[in-house]
Structure formats: structure tokens, C-alpha cells
């Protein structure tokens, strides 16, 4: 117990603790199901992305092993500014990018030219991401990072390499699933400390959203 804790508080907190334990158990159950997924479809091609050092094939992005994580950053060539929500999530993820790279390859892909992506990355002090442009291939449309109108979507995809073949393993399809009224898809919330911390507070998330600057 904490100092001066009322009995009704402890009773409610213990009930919540049981619910938190059940939620954690469910999260592990879902993670186990995810890990047990069979191989998805082979990629249509060995996509060629534009990097700061020139063209790079998708197969060349596997440098740590057989797993590649690709995040679609909503920053199309016609967009005046990048998506504030993507930027907020990536701000936090960049802090762990070096550690993540010890286990899997992580790249951030946007539709804008690579020079434009780099310019914005400097303003956020992103130093550990591998940044790529998809403006010369069909990766975005093939893997739900862009629709037929050219609108950008914040899709996260995981790929595995088996021999010379690259297979899709998992995608954050909650982005497109039905959500309760008034609730965002929350498809990458598991990666995003901002919302996880606010969920621990009395007022929760509210109707606030992050911005590019304050």
C-alpha cells in the first residue's frame, strides 16, 4: 500500500491490477500467435529504393539476419509537411533504433525524394534510422503505404528472407480494420511511448494530438 491510501482506492486498484495482468497475458497470447504465422506471399520484385548513397535493393537491406522491418512515413512529394503523428512516433522510435538494429533491420520509407527526407530528418535530429525513398518503385502501393489516389498511409510491415526469396510476414492491418467510434486505429500504439504513458494518467489521451512544433 501507499501512504494514506483509502480502502476503496486499494480495492479498486487491486481489481485493476487483475485486469492489467489479464491484459498482459492476452498481449503475450497475441504475440505468440503472431510469431507462429506461416510465411506470407513472396514480394513481387526485389524493390529498388533510393538511399543517400544511391539505389539499394530490398534484398540488400537484410544486413543483420533474415528480418526486415519497414515503416511507411507519410511524407509524399506533394505534402507541404510530413505527418505529425508519424513524426511523433518516429521521434520516439529513433531513440531505440540503435538497439533495435542489434536484432533486426529497420528502415523508414517515404515517397518524397531522398534529399527531401534527409532535410526533414536533420530537423528532428534523426541519426540512427536508415532512410529510403520509394518514389521510383511500387512498394508503397503494394504494401498499403499508399492508396490508388496517391494518399499516404502509415503502414508498418515485417519481411523475412528465406534463401533468395523475400516473404511478407506481418503488416499493421489494424490501420484498416473497423474501430469504435471516436477511436483511432491504434495500429502502431505498441511502439509509441507517448500514448502508453498518457494511458496511465487520470485524463488519458483526451482529444489532443501531437504537432510538428509547439
Distance (Å, whole) CA 78 – CA 112: 8
Percent of the chain with pLDDT over 90: 97
Show the CA angle centred on residue 90, arms to residues 87 and 93, nearest 5°: 160
Distance (Å, whole) CA 111 – CA 171: 18
Q: How many CB atoms lie within 10 A of CB 86?
A: 21
The mean pLDDT value for 103-122 works out to 98
Dihedral angle over CA of 11, 15, 18, 20, nearest 10: -110
Please compute the mean of the pLDDT values over residues 14-20 and round it to a whole number: 98
- Count of alpha carbons within 13 angstroms of residue 29, beta-carbon side: 6
Mean pLDDT of 192-200: 95
Fold of 48-173: Glutaredoxin (3.40.30)
* Residue 4 falls in which region: left (phi positive, over 0), alpha (psi -120 to 50) or beta: left
Sign of CA dihedral 126, 136, 160, 177: positive
* Average of per-residue pLDDT across 94-104: 97
Averaged pLDDT, 145-162: 96
Instruction: Give residue 162's pLDDT band: very low, low, confident or very high (50, 70, 90).
Output: very high
Q: What is the structure's pLDDT at 181?
A: 86
| Average pLDDT score over residue span 36-51 | 98
The mean per-residue pLDDT over the stretch 132-146 comes to 97
Beta bridge partners of 168: 159
Average pLDDT over residues 154-160: 98
The pLDDT assigned to 182 comes to: 80
Contacts 24+ apart (CB under 8 A), 202-211: 209/84, 209/85, 210/84, 210/85, 210/87, 210/88, 211/84
Q: Distance between CA atoms of 67 and 104, rounded to whole angstroms? A: 6
Residue 158 clears pLDDT 90, i.e. is over it: yes
Please state the φ and ψ torsions of residue 103, each to the nearest 5 degrees. Answer: -115, -40
Question: Is the pLDDT reported for residue 179 higher than 90?
Answer: no
Mean pLDDT of all residues belonging to the chain: 96
- How confident is the model over 86-109, as a mean pLDDT? 97
| C-beta of residue 46 within 8 angstroms of C-beta of residue 174 | no
**CA-CA distance, 59 to 48, in Å (whole number)?**
9
Residue 166 belongs to what H/E stretch?
Answer: strand 165-171
Count of residues making up the chain: 214
Residue 66 pLDDT: 97
Q: What nine digits make up the cell of 175? A: 490501420
Amino acid at each position: 500500500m501507499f501512504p494514506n491510501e483509502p480502502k476503496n482506492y486499494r480495492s479498486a486498484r487491486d481489481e485493476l491490477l487483475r485486469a492489467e495482468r489479464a491484459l498482459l497475458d492476452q498481449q503475450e497470447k497475441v504475440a505468440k500467435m503472431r510469431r507462429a504465422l506461416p510465411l506470407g506471399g513472396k514480394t513481387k520484385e526485389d524493390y529498388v529504393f533510393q538511399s543517400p548513397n544511391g539505389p539499394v535493393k530490398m534484398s540488400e537491406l537484410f544486413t543483420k539476419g533474415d528480418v526486415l522491418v519497414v515503416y511507411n512515413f507519410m511524407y509524399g512529394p506533394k505534402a507541404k509537411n510530413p505527418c505529425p503523428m508519424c513524426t511523433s512516433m518516429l521521434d520516439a522510435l529513433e531513440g531505440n533504433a540503435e538497439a533495435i538494429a542489434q536484432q533486426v533491420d529497420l528502415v523508414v520509407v517515404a515517397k518524397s525524394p531522398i534529399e527531401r527526407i534527409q532535410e526533414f530528418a536533420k530537423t528532428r535530429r534523426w541519426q540512427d534510422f536508415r532512410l529510403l525513398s520509394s518514389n521510383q518503385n511500387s512498394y508503397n502501393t503494394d504494401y498499403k503505404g499508399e492508396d490508388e489516389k496517391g494518399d499516404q498511409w502509415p503502414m508498418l510491415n515485417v519481411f523475412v528472407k528465406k534463401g533468395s526469396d523475400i516473404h511478407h510476414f506481418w503488416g499493421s492491418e489494424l490501420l484498416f480494420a473497423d474501430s469504435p467510434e471516436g477511436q483511432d486505429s491504434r495500429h502502431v500504439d505498441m511502439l509509441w511511448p507517448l500514448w502508453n504513458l498518457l494511458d496511465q494518467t487520470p485524463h488519458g489521451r483526451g482529444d489532443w494530438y501531437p504537432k510538428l512544433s509547439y
